[in-house]
Every structure is written in structure tokens, then in C-alpha cells.
Amino acid sequence: MATIKSIGILTSGGDAPGMNAAIRAVTRAARYNGWSVNGIMRGYKGLITGEIEEFHSNSVSNIIQRGGTILKTARCDEFKSAEGRKTAYDNMKAAGIDALVVIGGDGTITGAQVFAEEFDVPVVALPGTIDNDLSGTDTTIGYDTALNTIVEAVDKLRDTATSHERLFFVEVMGRRAGYLALNGAIASGAEAAIIPESQTGDDQLKTLIDNGFRKSKNSAIVLVAEDPSTGGALGLAERVEREFPQYDARVTILGHLQRGGSPTAADRILASRLGAAAVEALKEGQRNVMVGLKNGDIVYTPFCQALSKSKTVKQSNVELVKMLSI
């Protein structure tokens, strides 16, 4: 096992609040151990273009509270080619980098897995995505902040929905996962969550109208996951117009608002713990693992398992939304 003296750190894919807290933790923990740290700009793209700068302890001062990522981020198609990865490896070696810490979601970890295998490079990943769709951690960095943003927005929408007695479809991010929609619904007291994990063939819109809305309520908020299988907020509102014209439906798509803002305390603590644990993992000789937190403890999960999608929303939470929305 070669001794590590210098690491590179990058953020890739969609940004997530708490990425800066993670960059800070990795940098400070590495410096604490006497390693040098290199900030790689714009994710894998910066590795290919050689945008690499040395980071000191004060390079990460005053960023724990900031959303986004000071390293910038990108989705990089060139890194999907063997040629692009070879250039990235050559630049990494030229900069004297022995190991990488990458922060991002499933695309980032997929890239890390291929790169690590191809060039026998130690890589440790931190789960940074608002989608919470990675196995090997109870929550991902950014998820809690996005959830709080959703709750704040729905609280406001509730005022106008109640006043006008309207049905609101609020579309939230999450790519193919329904964590934000489902837990956003629980936290905001929404009447329903329409998520990809519940597409069992039942007509969730009809169930909502028949069982809840029509019986006892004049207004309702429905959180809709952005996955096409849900029909999306616009699709559902069009159906209401056609099939249930007695209801006045409106649509709000929260979009990239959900990715911004100052990270919550929970995300800052998660990012700080995972960042320090990433350095610990490299010190111990671990490689090609994602660092996560399960039941309050740090765990290391091989990349293939982290990407396995074995984690899924809790069915009991699906039932909870139904039970509490009568």
C-alpha cells in the first residue's frame, strides 16, 4: 500500500447544500494529518483540463455556511471516454496527487468506480446529492436542506391554496427517487405524495380525489416527484381539468430553488463527519468506497453497492401520508 501524501478533491454532478462543508472537512482533516490538498475545479472536467490548485487550511475558511460549491461543478461527458480519463490520470499524476476524494451523486460515483479500476487509484466518495438516492447512507449531503426548502415553500402555498380552495400540485426534484416528495409531504402535512416507488398500477390521483379530497377538504396540496412515471405536476393538473373539472387545480414546480441555500445544521454536521471519515478511510488504506452514515455511525460501502439502488423509501411512510391526510 503506497503512502498517501497528497489528495485531490472535487465536486461533480448537481450541486447540493453542504458540499462546501464537506470540502472544508476533507481539506482540514487532510491538512491535520500533514497531507497536501489540491482543489480540482469543475469536477472531472477540471481533472481533464488541469484546473488544479493547492488548498491550504484557509482556502476553506468561511464556507461552511454557504450553499453551492466553491470548487464549481459540472457533468462531464469527456470523462466517459477512455481518452478523457487517461488525460485526467496524467494530470493527476503530474500534480503529485496520490488519491481522490469525490463528492457527488450516482453519476459521480459511477465515474469514480471506472477511473479507480482503470488506473488503480485510491478513490473515496462522499454522497452529495439532494436526491438521497444512494445506498450505503441513511441520508445524503444536501437532502435535509432541500427538504426544508420544500417545506418552507409548501407552507406558503398552503395559505393561498386554503384561501382559494384550490388543489395544488407541487413538483419536486429527486430524479427517479421519491424521498423528497414523500418526506416533504410528511413534513408539510400535504394531502398526498405521488412518487415513482408507488406506481403499482393504482390511479393515485383518483384515489386522492375519491378518498380524501372530495370527502372532507376544500383544498389540498399534493407533492409530485419529477419522475415521468408520476405524470408530473403539469400532467396531473391537466387530468384534473379533463376528468374532475369541478376542482380548481394549480401547479408549482420548485425546480432549482431546491438546490440552493445555506445548508441546515444537520447537513453541515453530516458533511463534516463524512469529510473527516473520508480522510480516515484513505489513511486506513480503504479505497473505492463511499462514506456514509447509518444509524448514527460511519460506514464504508463499496461503490457497486452504493450504486445498487437497494435503498428505497419506507413503505410505512407512504401509509403515514395516507393516514394523516384524512
Which runs of consecutive H residues, i.e. helices, occur in the chain? 19-32, 44-49, 82-94, 106-119, 143-164, 179-188, 204-207, 214-216, 232-243, 265-283, 303-306, 315-324
Instruction: Give yes or no for residue 130 binding ligand F6P (CB under 6 A).
Output: yes
* Residue with grid cell 383518483, as numbered in its chain: 206
Instruction: Give yes or no for residue 17 binding ligand F6P (CB under 6 A).
Output: no
- Residue of 105, 127, 136, 231 interacting with ligand F6P (CB under 6 A): 105
Q: Which is nearer to ligand F6P, 84 or 174 (CB)?
A: 174
Instruction: Give yes or no for residue 173 binding ligand F6P (CB under 6 A).
Output: yes
Instruction: Give yes or no for residue 128 binding ligand F6P (CB under 6 A).
Output: no
Instruction: Give yes or no for residue 161 binding ligand F6P (CB under 6 A).
Output: no
Q: What φ, ψ does residue 244 adopt, rounded to 5°?
A: -135, 60
- How long, in residues, is the chain? 326
- Residue of 158, 175, 217, 250 interacting with ligand F6P (CB under 6 A): 175
Is 131 known to be catalytic? yes
Give the closest residue to 122 by CA, choosing from 283, 296, 253, 320.
283
CB 106, min distance to ligand F6P, A:
8
Catalytic, out of 15, 98, 106, 131: 131
Asked if 150 contacts 138 with a C-beta cutoff of 8 angstroms, the reply is no
Q: What is the CA radius of gyration of the chain?
A: 22
Q: Considering only the stretches 64-72, 77-85, 108-116, 128-136, report the one whose residues sit in contact with ligand F6P under the rule CB under 6 A.
A: 128-136
Which runs of consecutive H residues, i.e. helices, occur in 120-256? 143-164, 179-188, 204-207, 214-216, 232-243
Q: Which is nearer to ligand F6P, 14 or 17 (CB)?
A: 14
| Interface residue list for ligand F6P (CB under 6 A) | 14, 105, 129-131, 173-175, 226, 259
